[in-house]
Amino acid sequence: MKQGEGVDISSLITAARNGERKAFEKLFAAYRPLLRRAVLLYSRPDSPFLGEDDLAQEASIAFYRAVMSFDLDREDVTFGLYARRCVNNRLLSAIRYAGRRGRYSETIPEFILSSSDPLEGFLAKERVQSLREGAESLLSPYENKIFTLLSAGGTAEEIASVTGRSPKSVRNAVCRIRAKLETLL
């Protein structure tokens, strides 16, 4: 298992587990691009609670745990693949947790979560982002706010309490949103 400049990943993992800080720093530097890609894949600039810095911290924690838990005796899985899985799982869990706590402005569509192919998941995320951008130009500011809250899983009653409008007003806005979004699809 070699990575980068002929550095033996197995010996670095063993040294890092034994408390050698320099070994962990070398591992972290070697896999920094992997962490960065994962953070960029899941980050949303308009999220006030799970920004890029928060996700980068979660990715770092996941990477540390991957170093500590990777089975060096397994030959069928590389450390890079294992670390990538650990990081992606941690980021998805953080986003789900924030969503349950009402702190994230969107939920992750199920077709992204169920995708086993990272490229397929990325393309699906791109399609969702394209739909969101198209929706922003079609919808009024009020409808955009309703659409965001609805995407986060809010009910008409919950959205009404947040916006200060009646549930009927919210339901009417949802009908208008659906009609406008049908033109995008």
pLDDT in tens, 87-134: 988 888 887 777 655 543 444 444 444 555 666 666 666 766 777 777
154: left (phi over 0), alpha (psi -120 to 50) or beta: beta
pTM for this predicted structure: 0.52
Architecture of domain 1-105: Orthogonal Bundle (1.10)
Give the C-alpha separation, 42 to 33, whole Å: 15
- The region of weakest confidence among 2-11, 130-139, 159-168 is 2-11
Q: Residue ranges per domain, the chain?
A: 1-105, 117-185
pLDDT, tens only, 39-65: 888 777 665 556 788 888 999 999 999
CATH number of the domain at 117-185, out of 1.10.760, 1.10.10, 1.10.3470, 1.10.357? 1.10.10
**18 pLDDT exceeds 90?**
yes
